[in-house]
Amino acid sequence: MTGYLLEFGQALLALLLAPGLVGFVRWVKARLQNRRGAPIWLPYFELKKLFGKDVVVSNNASWLFRVAPYIVFVSALAVTFLIPLIAVPLPFDNVGDLMVVVYLLLLGTFFLALAGLDPGTAFGGMGSSREMTVAALAEPTIALAIFGLALGAGSTNLGRIVIATLANPGTAINPGHLLAFAALFIVSLAETGRLPVDNPSTHLELTMIHEAMILEYSGRYLALIEWASWLKLTIFFTLLSNLFIPWGMATKLTPAALGIALLTLILKFIVLGLAVAIVETRIAKLRLFRVPELLGMSFVLALLAVTSSFLLK
Amino acid sequence: MNDTLFSQLSTLGSSIILMFGIGLLWRKSLHAYAESFKWQSVALTIMFLIIGYFGDDHELYVVAVVLFILKVLVIPYYLNRMENRFGDQRELQPYVNVASSLILAGLLVLLAYAITRPLVLVSELSTRGGMPLAMGLIFVGLFVVITRKKAMMQIVGFLVMENGVALLAVLGTFGIPIIVELGVFLDVLMGFLVMQVFVYHIHTTFESIDVDQMNELKH
């Protein structure tokens, strides 16, 4: 019973942490660029503002346009039930493994792309086509990178992977693990619309991907989509931190263990957030036609991760 | 415990060295090629030190120092000097485009795994995990030489290939006799200098270092 309660608590935690995480990354980035930066909790107010606003929908938009934000949000929310956030093992580990996680994420992307096409604006279509290009190249890499871990642990179940790494700490400096980490990090940047692939902070017409798709949205629909995309960042951060560096996660459901798990989770998020902010400050956006090359690089990394954990068993 | 640590470190080091080699395929300017080669050589030096430490072979420390001087300081310095002389050289249109190169590099590494499989199976060394990767690096270096058009990129490809050979040698034997090692280094340096002179000649004759244009010699 406590397990199920914890599942809901975990999903709620992810929901609440997501805007703060984005706010933190934005703040660090601003500081690195010698700006004062908006407060970390600004995204919460952004959500509140958007939920309070009226929705304006184009006459040309169909029911798909209205349904898509809910599907996008719910698919991201469903993933938060399946990933190991603060404790393992959890009852929902048996509901879905890594394949379910990968394809739930893809489901959200797919509906967002459809919604971008639906009102028939030029930007929406452009954004959708770009997003699908990136998604098509990124999705196999995510699956392959986590497969690299799954081969080591002998299970595609995310909870089991974490437990296997906890039981056998030496595997964390395994080349398979590190290559998979690098691959997943690059893909996370691509999938969450971060800098070398997409610039999250501008509406620059020629280069935007994510922003182009959601250009037609307003009010609570926009709030849901934004929240979902922040959740996606949280999900990728969780995968990166907890699958590869699982220490600190609670294996027993005592309050003390959960408290430590929560603290280490926030600490890991801060470290990853700093890393992302530094990467984003250091590098410029890639030209769109170089994006497949970057993702090709991450695919090769993931492939090597799988071969080194599979062939050297 | 020590043995597993050694085997993991050697495989990890080999992976990193290989990644610098594959990274070449993604980069375009000579500066980036020289940087990748330099960092790859740094990783290779550390690899020599690790093997020297765990394999208890102190001659490897000497080899590592020579390697560091030659491949981290001297050759990158000359590469940068060539860059200054020819201006910003970029590999804009290789024979195989970047995305396909990367995928092919992945396949080449798989091929290396297939080829070295018998070797790895009979080997008792704790460094055997790195051997396929070193073989893969040799293939990737050769691939750079074949598919890049600019003469200087081909030189870097050759140097990367040589790094692969050095890595394979040290993984397979824990250090060949130091005199052989030094002879190899000398050969690499001589080869590099000869190639450098050739590039200067190509440049003065054709006003370009694009070896594709040497086809004009046939007409």
pLDDT of residue B6: 83
pLDDT given at position B53: 87
pLDDT of A278 reads: 92
Residue A193 pLDDT grade (very low, low, confident, very high; cuts 50, 70, 90): confident
B194-218 burial, b if ≥16 CB within 10 A, otherwise e?
Answer: ebbeebeebbeeeebbbbeeeeeee
* Domain-wise residue ranges, chain A: 2-311
At residue A313, does pLDDT exceed 60? no
Confidence (pLDDT) at A190: 87
pLDDT value, residue A284: 82
Give the pLDDT score at B148: 86
Q: Where are the domains of chain B?
A: 2-218
Characterize B43-71 residue by residue with b for buried, 16 or more Cβ atoms within 10 angstroms of its Cβ, and e for exposed: bbbbbbbbbbebbebeebeebbebbbebb
Please indicate whether, in this complex, the C-beta atoms of A300 and B18 are within 8 angstroms of each other: no
Q: How far is CA A117 from CA A200, A225, A259, B80, B82, in A?
A: 20, 15, 45, 49, 51
User: Which chain B positions have a beta carbon within 8 Å of A313's beta carbon?
Assistant: none
Give the whole-number percent of chain A exceeding pLDDT 70.
98
| Chain A partners within 8 Å of B11 (Cβ) | 174-175, 308, 312
Asked if pLDDT for residue A312 goes beyond 80, the answer is: no
Q: Which residues of chain B have pLDDT under 50?
A: none
Query: pLDDT at residue A128 above 70?
Result: yes
Q: If pLDDT is split at 50, 70 and 90, which confidence band does A125 have?
A: confident
Q: Most A CBs within 10 Å: which of B3, B6, B10, B15, as the mutation test of the A interface?
A: B15
User: Can you give the pLDDT at residue A43?
Assistant: 92
Chain A residue numbers with beta carbons less than 8 Å from the beta carbon of B110 are 303, 307
| DSSP, res B218 | G
pLDDT for res A157 = 85
| Chain A residues near residue B18 by CB distance under 8 angstroms | 304
Instruction: Look at B102 and A301 and tell me if their CB atoms are within 8 Å.
Output: no
Average pLDDT, chain A: 87
What pLDDT was estimated at residue A208?
A: 80
The pLDDT score that the predictor gives to residue B1 is: 57
Longest Cα–Cα distance of chain A, Å, equals: 59
Interface probe for A, chosen from B6, B91, B98, B104 (most Cβ of A below 10 Å), is B98
A→B interface, C-beta within 8 Å: 170, 173-175, 178-179, 182, 290, 292-294, 296-297, 299-301, 303-304, 307-308, 311-312
Is the pLDDT assigned to residue A127 strictly greater than 80? yes
CB pairs under 8 A between A and B: 65
A288 contacts on B by Cβ (under 8 Å): none
